[in-house]
Amino acid sequence: MSERQLNRIEVLIQVTRGAMTAVTVANVLGLSRRLRCP
């Protein structure tokens, strides 16, 4: 796995644990507003 993929997995784990909000994750992963707010 690439470093980018590992970072995404780590961030998603934090979301499932409640340590990060979905908006924060979207910012960390570089997702646009359109992608994070359907």
CA distance 22 to 2: 23
**What pLDDT, on the 0 to 100 scale, is given for residue 9?**
92
Better-scored residue on pLDDT, 5 or 38: 5
pLDDT for res 4: 87
Structural domain containing residue 7? 3-36
Kindly tell me if the per-residue pLDDT of 38 is higher than 60: no
Residue 1 DSSP label: -
This prediction has a pTM of 0.61
In one letter, which amino acid is 30? Answer: G
How does pLDDT run across 8-35, given as a tens digit for each residue? 899 889 888 988 887 888 888 888 766 5
Structural domains in the chain (count): 1
Q: What is the pLDDT of residue 37?
A: 58
